[in-house]
Amino acid sequence: MVGLFIGLLIAAIVVLQVFIPVVQDAISSSGISGTEQTIVELLPLFAVLLLLIALAGPLMRRV
């Protein structure tokens, strides 16, 4: 159980502190606009949703 929590915390740190800022910086410095920009701006949201699913899945199996 402790190993599960450590793994989930590492995944949360990577997603929240590394992936999201890097993606947002890449979006702001890119030259895309219109529909492409709208789709790319949703990537951080999908990353957070994936993180929530990754956190909830193993915990629900333990309950």
Cα–Cα distance between 12 and 42 in angstroms, integer? 18
Q: Are 47 and 19 in contact (CB under 8 A)?
A: yes
Q: Are 55 and 12 in contact (CB under 8 A)?
A: yes
Specify the range with the lowest mean pLDDT, choosing from 3-7, 45-49, 54-58, 59-63. 59-63
How many C-beta atoms surround the C-beta of residue 14 within 10 A?
Answer: 13
- The burial of 21, by beta-carbon neighbours within 10 Å (0-12 exposed, 13-18 middle, 19 or more buried), is given as exposed
Predicted TM-score (pTM) of the model is: 0.64
pLDDT tens digits along 18-58: 888 888 898 889 889 899 989 988 988 888 888 888 778 77
